A = this chain, B = another copy of it.
């Protein structure tokens, strides 16, 4: 395919993309395929001679679409949103064309520098304390990670390295292995599974801190465990706080937890993967108070800020903490400006070496929406969640299971877990809307998250009508 053919096929693809998204509501949101469906639909080997482009595009509809869960359908309410917007897609086309691999400043200065400045822009939108920004002379700064899981892992590894050095500076006879075996990380019992996984990768112990009746960790809960663990000779070194937990969008009390972590020489990382986007609205910003005590902070613009996956924004107070944990300098990656102190080589900030020019997506989205446009998006989706909450509250058969703060509603039929499992099964099977469950205090709970940019009030009303209809059928069956 040469440039001339790409001009033609590319324009067709632009229309294809617009058609898909404009008509997405007509498709069942959840696919009706059995495991292994795809293998029999295509050849067992790659072709030796080229296939025609027409055949490939026909196969997109024949082979791929029947197996797609349509994350951007207005009837998709599962997990958390995956962001999507036209400006981000345009920027990604440009990113593919430039196709630079921005592991160091020299590998494409614009790729590194736009990222640093975009993370400063975004940090200012969130009113992050100055110390997290790169500015022109700062010690902090931001980086785009692929996912929140990677941000958590990077922070845990940086904390591990710092803790080992600190303990060894106090007692040089202690071996690294000995220290490692005594390090303990902490997180909420409501934290995302990736936090526990980071500890598994980093070969350190991790303990779950119990939460209050709103599923949030409070200072006194962490303090109690720390006292016990220190008395047992363990070395607490890391706490991952969550702002907006995955099950119920609960908020740990970072303003209490932060001073405690600082006092105990523990790294505090804040994972605000979903909720972070909302902190650009003044009415939600108080939930971030206490961030000034954190060593690192992360959220996913690719969830709720209209920037297509992947784009996870992470800031650190001292970039040397992160760089020091990872730095490797082979000659083929050296360049003349790297020791000047003026440049950032982002490969030291992350797990992979290679990286795409992802800040282009931020730049396009921030400029095409403006801060007001982004705030309007957040507020609209929170409004839709509140609308759904009112519908649930008005129906005595149902209950709301956690405060509705942002775009997530946790609810259930009053009754057994089995009943609610049956309801979810019916919903999944009907394929009109798509939800996933969570567990709260032993209860099986349904989660409705406002996800798609195209979800409107009528979809919320329809979704509720659909759910109550299925619940009605279910309760009828149970009475027989």
Contact = CB atoms under 8 A, between A and B. Distances in A.
Contact of A121 (B46, B99, B372, B428): B46
A336 B18 CA distance: 32
Number of copies: 2
Contacts of A122: 46
Contacts of A70: 98, 100
Interface stretch (A230-238, A324-332, A385-393): A324-332
A6 interface: yes
Given A86-B9, A110-B68, A177-B180, A51 B367 contact: yes
B146 A56 contact: no
Contacts of A117: 38-39, 42
Nearest to A452: B99
Interface string A336-380: 110010110000000111101000100110111111110000000
B367 A331 contact: no
A14 to B, nearest CB: 3
Interface string A140-184: 000000111110010001001000000000000001010011000
A42 B182 CA distance: 48
Interface stretch (A28-36, A214-222, A254-262, A467-475): A28-36
Contacts of A101: 71, 79, 82, 309
Given A47-B367, A72-B99, A196 B328 contact: yes
A16 B6 CA distance: 11
A36 B68 contact: no
Interface in A27-83: 31, 33, 35-39, 42, 44-51, 53, 55-56, 60, 63-72, 79, 82
A113 interface: yes
A247 B334 CA distance: 13
Interface in A83-123: 84-90, 92-94, 96-101, 105-111, 113-114, 116-117, 120-122
Nearest to A51: B367
29 contacts: A10-B14, A14-B93, A20-B97, A31-B109, A36-B342, A38-B114, A46-B122, A47-B366, A47-B367, A47-B371, A50-B370, A63-B114, A64-B98, A65-B110, A68-B110, A71-B98, A79-B332, A84-B99, A93-B93, A99-B308, A147-B352, A148-B353, A180-B181, A201-B351, A202-B203, A331-B439, A332-B447, A333-B436, A351-B351
